[in-house]
Structure 1
Amino acid sequence: MMVFSDQRDVKALVYGAAFYGGGGGGSIEEGLRLAMLAIELGGRVEVKEPDEVPGSLTLITVSGVGAPAAREQYLKPVHLIRAVELLRSTGVEIGGIIPSEVGAFNGINGWLQSVVLKVPFVDIPCDGRAHPTGLMGSMGLHRIKGYVSIQAAAGGDPAKRRYIEVVVRGSIQRASAIIRRVAVEAGGLVAVARNPVSADHAKRNGAPGALAQAYKVGQAILRGIESGDHREACYRAFEEASGEVLGECVVEETSLETREGFDIGDVRLACEGSAYKVRFFNEYMSIEHDGRYVALFPDLIVVMDMATGFPLTSADLLGARNRKVLLGYVHRSRLLLGKGLYYPEAYEPLEKALGIEFRKMLSDMLLE
């Protein structure tokens, strides 16, 4: 069991989770705030290891769904709790909570609900990195014949008449699409609780131990920051994660549009005499150089701020012109990927939005 009771350990986990966010997964600031609130209310937060929970235990997934750059997003701690309460009201007996992915906010999401509702939080994220769609975090449930997804969501500013809460039942794809639309109506972001499964299913199809992995990378980042060498913090992160650094770069230009609840765009980087383009669909999706793909999602593409030592989200890059960053990636073979990333149908929205032939280029890893 991992136990968190002080800010230093929290920083290590949030920084490492931000690294595995790969451009998404929420902001470091919000992740730290949420984690410290949970500790303030509970005195400490316990994160159970996968082998500490019985296989028959019913786990639910919690997540934040929406576009990180949306300007009217309004999500408060009470909404995180409300989403779980809504799901529980359908008759689901909740034995534990798991995060949808690893990211600065989404990897911590579940701590507050665990403390307030007295439900264990377990280190079995649906995916060991952040991803843009609900299907990718569904651990293969959409392939189970007759499986009905139950998803509850809450969020939005009541003062602007945007507050909304819903419970949806249907296929994974349809229910997730409706939740995404609800996020748009709420101003860009909602808290979600969804998809009850057995711990056995989560262990087989999720990413058990991914938060512990992120914590180690975060410790490397934190040691660099505490030493005062923020540049070294960036390099240490890639070393700990067995990643590859492409170069020290300057942000030249970022284009971003929020479309159907996603942040879609690209950033152009000048890297030691070479030009790179990083495209994103919430998370970083590709690194392009000299007409070829150097890295392609689900490879973990990471952009780190060399002035702070922090991983940057795609939303962070707005207004980051001339900022010095470190660009690199971790190959997918070195990641704890959830089963949802192994299905060809999961990449259809990415292909439609970006025009990249993911399924063709990832054919060596995809299942039939």
Structure 2
Amino acid sequence: MGWQIDTAQVEDLARGAALFGTGGGGDPYIGSLLARQALADGPVAVLDLSELPDDAHVLFVAMMGAPTVMVEKLPSLDEVIEPVRALGAHLGRPVTHIACAEVGGVNSTIPVAAAAALGLPLIDADGMGRAFPELQMVLPTLIGVTASPLALSDEKGNVAVLQTIDNSWTERIARVATVEMGCSTMIAGFSMTGAQARAGLVGGSLSRCITVGRAIADAREGKTDPVTAAVALLDGRELFDGKVVDVQRATTTGFARGRARIEGEGGTVLTLQFQNEHLVAEADGRILATTPDLIMVVEGETGEPVTTEGLRYGQRVRVLAAPADERWHCPEALAMVGPGYFGYDLPAHRFDGTVSTGAVSTGTVSGIAAAEEAK
């Protein structure tokens, strides 16, 4: 059933989405500021996937680029809605619904701002069930939905509409444009019908984020462990508890790439390797979890999610893992988001310690070597 989102729910949404974002998706605080500004005039209607008419015209709205840049390069509401307007004009038909490409930090709240500013309903769903770094890495790609035409805008007033031959080329060209436009842009694309959205999206994403975000806050207020509360709702497990002893991070080709080392009791060291999002968790040579399953870092006591750009030396953190939408473990999906795609010569390890039966490995370097290359 449909519901409404207002300013009172934005904080819980941002917190939960930052957790599901697996370290990426952008700073949730920035997105929440935009959403609160847009919601000042009233709430936004949120619809279940089942309520979408077949002939609906659905667009993803998101930030593209390096989250590290967006911390200082704040977007405006005009920048958020310009791509939607440009794409509607280009396609010659009005946009009827807004959806999240991913549930991750700013990319869960920017669509709220877009829907509020444009007076359009938002869908309680997203394209991943988590966050991934590249444009084509959404479940609608697997059912033939095209990313282009794709509209981009920046803070200077530039607006562009791309038409490409496939979703990988959309990513390549849009990434170059994004770097030239300041390493972060607002985008709108993946034009879908209601029927395609029902087939390709992960339902209930926004309400799930709000539930998990609220549970973390409630546990803190009730003097119980917020991390345990989050793990229970995620159907996941805690991988590691320790202190950040090293972070290597750089913004290259429009991504925040690098690794973090976390030292636990007895000197055991967990290494996290990331490209915007955490991709591999490895402890003393043993792989604990890999993409596409979710690897999440939270503050040790408060349970607040920590993004990859927010990792700092000396932080006490806990690392969690949870299952991805099962569609991500089919061979076609693993070829797009599995470890091999990112250059790690290993199969996809599920959060529970098993190896995905659909595992595809196309990489030629080890995880450690890939991290060294990202320095």
| C-alpha separation in 1, matches of 2:330 and 2:61 | 16
Aligned mate of 1:323, from 293, 315, 318: 315
Shift of 1:345: 3.9
Equivalent residue number for residue 195 of structure 1 = 190
| C-alpha separation in 1, matches of 2:247 and 2:55 | 47
For residues 278-318 of structure 1, the C-alpha deviation after alignment (integer angstroms, 9 at most, x for no partner) is 0001100010012121000111101001254310111111x
C-alpha contact 1:128 1:337 (8 A) present in aligned 2: no
CA RMSD of aligned residues (A): 2.5
Shift of 1:31: 2.5
Question: What is the SS of the residue equivalent to 2:151?
Answer: strand
Shift of 1:140: 2.1
> CA separation of 1:279/1:216 partners in 2, compared to 1, >3 Å: closer, same or farther?
same
2:344 maps to amino acid = G
Q: Does 1:262 align with 2:262?
A: no
Using the size of structure 1 for normalisation, the TM-score is: 0.87
Aligned mate of 2:270, from 255, 268, 276: 276
Q: Does 1:180 align with 2:175?
A: yes
Question: What is the SS of the residue equivalent to 1:62?
Answer: strand
Q: Which runs of 5+ in 1 are unaligned?
A: none
1:58 maps to amino acid = H
| C-alpha separation in 1, matches of 2:235 and 2:144 | 32
> CA separation of 1:177/1:272 partners in 2, compared to 1, >3 Å: closer, same or farther?
same
1:33 maps to amino acid = L
For residues 219-251 of structure 1, the C-alpha deviation after alignment (integer angstroms, 9 at most, x for no partner) is 21110233366xx12221112111111232100
For residues 247-281 of structure 1, the C-alpha deviation after alignment (integer angstroms, 9 at most, x for no partner) is 32100000012221111110000122221100001
1:113 maps to amino acid = A
> CA separation of 1:342/1:107 partners in 2, compared to 1, >3 Å: closer, same or farther?
farther
> CA separation of 1:48/1:19 partners in 2, compared to 1, >3 Å: closer, same or farther?
same
Q: Does 1:245 align with 2:238?
A: yes
Equivalent residue number for residue 355 of structure 1 = 344
| C-alpha separation in 2, matches of 1:353 and 1:260 | 14
Aligned mate of 2:299, from 305, 318, 330: 305
Question: What is the SS of the residue equivalent to 2:272?
Answer: strand
Question: What is the SS of the residue equivalent to 1:195?
Answer: strand
1:107 maps to amino acid = S
C-alpha contact 2:49 2:197 (8 A) present in aligned 1: no
C-alpha contact 2:292 2:334 (8 A) present in aligned 1: no
Shift of 1:326: 1.0
For residues 179-236 of structure 1, the C-alpha deviation after alignment (integer angstroms, 9 at most, x for no partner) is 111211121110000021112112112101122222221121110233366xx12221
| C-alpha separation in 2, matches of 1:88 and 1:140 | 21
State how many pairs are aligned: 350
Equivalent residue number for residue 333 of structure 2 = 343
| C-alpha separation in 2, matches of 1:326 and 1:148 | 36
| C-alpha separation in 1, matches of 2:287 and 2:140 | 27
Question: What is the SS of the residue equivalent to 1:149?
Answer: coil
Q: Which runs of 5+ in 2 are unaligned?
A: 350-354, 361-375
Q: Does 1:233 align with 2:203?
A: no
2:254 maps to amino acid = G
> CA separation of 1:79/1:16 partners in 2, compared to 1, >3 Å: closer, same or farther?
same
| C-alpha separation in 2, matches of 1:358 and 1:139 | 23
Identity in percent: 25
Where relative contact order (Cα < 8 A, 6+ residues apart) is larger, the structure is 1
> CA separation of 1:238/1:138 partners in 2, compared to 1, >3 Å: closer, same or farther?
closer
1:330 maps to amino acid = A
> Greater CA deviation, 44-53 or 97-106?
44-53
C-alpha contact 1:62 1:97 (8 A) present in aligned 2: yes
C-alpha contact 1:127 1:336 (8 A) present in aligned 2: no
Equivalent residue number for residue 62 of structure 2 = 63
For residues 60-90 of structure 1, the C-alpha deviation after alignment (integer angstroms, 9 at most, x for no partner) is 1111110111376442221111111111120
